[in-house]
């Protein structure tokens, strides 16, 4: 268990087409979000669907695969690690974001 310190595995569908950023050094960055859903029954016995959105970033060759093969609605399996970071808006407000840094990607479905 020592090797599993920060590992995330998700299966979901892309909410929109990926955003591709071409870096000055020639590398690529792909940003996209995936939705995961689970269904359960609440205390009243009613079926409830809970959807969570996850921001994902991919670099290098993985970003190239994302650029060439993924689009809105596609189902993917993502493996990576959680990254927490903060940034400041133009108005000076501090914002926090959590992302999955994708190490492996598997395209599912048709």
Which CATH number is 63's domain given?
A: 2.40.50.140
Is position 19 within any domain? yes
Helical H runs in 36-85?
60-69
In a domain, 62, yes or no: yes
Q: How confident is the model at residue 56 (pLDDT cuts 50, 70, 90)?
A: very high
SS3 60: helix
pLDDT in tens, 13-53: 999 999 999 999 989 999 999 999 999 999 999 999 999 99
Q: Give the separation between CA 95 and CA 82, rounded to whole angstroms.
A: 17
Domains contained in the chain, number: 1
What range defines the domain where residue 84 resides?
A: 8-108
Q: Is residue 89 included in any domain, yes or no?
A: yes
* pLDDT of 101: 97
């Amino acid at each position: 268990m020592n090797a599993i310190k920060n590992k995330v595995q998700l299966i979901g569908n892309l909410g929109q087409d990926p955003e591709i950023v071409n870096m000055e050094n020639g590398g690529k960055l792909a940003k996209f979000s995936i939705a995961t859903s689970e269904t359960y029954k609440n205390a009243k016995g009613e079926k409830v669907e809970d959807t969570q959105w996850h921001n994902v970033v991919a670099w290098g060759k993985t970003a190239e695969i994302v650029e060439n093969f993924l689009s809105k609605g596609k189902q993917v399996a993502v493996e990576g690690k959680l990254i927490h970071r903060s940034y400041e808006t133009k108005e000076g407000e501090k914002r926090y974001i959590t992302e999955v840094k994708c190490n492996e990607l598997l395209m599912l479905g048709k």
